[in-house]
Amino acid sequence: MPKKLFAELVKKEQLKEDIFKFSIKAKEITDEAKPGNFIEIRVSDSTEPFLRRPISIYNMDKEKGILEFIFQVKGKGTNILSKKEVGEKIDLMGPLGFGTFKYEGYQNIAVIGGGIGVFPLYELSKNAKKDNKNVNIYLGFRNENYVVLENEFKEVSDKLVITTDDGSYAEKGFAIDFLKQDIENNKIDCIYACGPLPMLKAVRNLAIEKNIPCQISLEEKMGCGIGACLGCAIRTSDSTIENPKYLHVCKAGPVFEAKTIDF
């Protein structure tokens, strides 16, 4: 069951001009959370902004009860959140989402992320590596100015490929191109992805074409985080015009078997 609590901000880091990493004391959440879960944060005591902000869990130290999340300032809510200082309390709810990453039964896994979609993939990669899986990671960014967490992902991978769209850092091109190479060499048993919808669609289609299991984490606008407001509905692949079918990202997800989602 999700917990509501006021968690103390114990560490704040600015990774880029508009990207922040917060570490909070939230043992009630870390005791239950799994890779792929998320939290909902109320950024202000006033009614503006009214809705909580959904943010993926980046990393957890279950022993110490420390939860870390990373976010990019994109609007009024995240701008208010970015102004919080160490020692302040953060009003949050979690862990949320019944759909989480699962890697049991697979040995050689591929983790692919794009932009801010790389954040929820770290806890997955860390746990899989700890469980002696072969972890190949492919991270794509727009350009050098947006590259984050390279060292952190390097520590939890057997192979790390960083790409930039313009070639300003590391490999030029798209992360999926390097994933394709390893698939052709029969190095991948299962794919895990999070990022922009065009990337997820391409990864999904590749996985179906190559008959490889694939799990994707979706990022949608959410109002409540528990499936009540119906604001994050996504169409399923077995939908028809006569019989449309939907799932709610916050409740059934945010992680889904890729083939079950209609992009």
User: At which of 96, 131, 166 does a domain end?
Assistant: 96
**pLDDT per residue as tens digits for the range 213-255:** 999 999 776 666 666 676 788 888 887 777 878 888 888 889 9
**pLDDT per residue as tens digits for the range 130-163:** 999 999 999 999 999 999 999 999 999 999 999 9
Q: Are residues 74 and 204 in the same domain?
A: no
Is 101 contained in some domain? no
Q: What is the residue range of 131's domain? A: 108-260
Q: Are residues 121 and 68 in the same domain?
A: no
Q: Are residues 124 and 243 in the same domain?
A: yes
Q: Are residues 112 and 92 in the same domain?
A: no
Is 103 contained in some domain? no
Single-letter code of the amino acid located at 181 = Q
pLDDT at residue 241 in the model? 76
What's the whole-model pTM score?
Answer: 0.94
Tell me phi and psi for residue 28, to 5 degrees: -60, -30
Is 20 contained in some domain? yes
CA gap 214, 187 in Å, rounded? 14
